Structure 1
């Protein structure tokens, strides 16, 4: 005698708890948070030199960005550095720009 499984239908009654699923996602997201890495002056100076080199030669960079405990990587071209507001204006796709704060950058690698 073969076992007849109901498949996804057996889990449908539990879908009336979307708030519980959302809370569970937030809980797992909070577990992935990390403290901001501490950068010394030499690392910051090296990041500045890499950014200047990438801007002058129009090369792509891989930025490691820390934002509210979560780090992520962006591959982009640096369009403009604003020393007054302390932001980088990056070109993610042709014609698409974003701004990233200096304090959020924890790693810079020249790709090309």
Structure 2
């Protein structure tokens, strides 16, 4: 539900992702959800213009955040 809310209202989102035995935090705006490849494309806050691909299966937490300019 948080992902849907983030996309609908263009809210920032923070994902906690499990990769290679370490949990990482990524914040930004959701660019696209791909249900075929099961990926979320996230435009990162800290690196403008960079889009991070996150696998559905690697997500361990989601929180809504404020959008930063």
TM-score bin (small chain): 0.7 to 0.9
Normalized per residue, which structure has more helix? Answer: 1
1:63 has 2:15 as partner: yes
**Number of residue pairs matched?**
64
Q: Which runs of 5+ in 1 are unaligned?
A: 1-48
TM-score by length of 1: 0.54
1:107, distance to aligned residue in structure 2 (A): 0.2
Question: Could you list the runs of 4 or more consecutive aligned residues of structure 1 that deviate by over 6 angstroms after TM superposition?
Answer: none
The alignment's C-alpha RMSD in Å is 1.0
* Larger radius of gyration between Structure 1 and Structure 2: 1
- Partner residue, 1:79: 31
Name the TM-score, length of structure 2 as normaliser.
Answer: 0.86
Considering Cα pairs closer than 8 Å and 6+ residues apart, tell me whether 1 or 2 has the greater RCO. 2
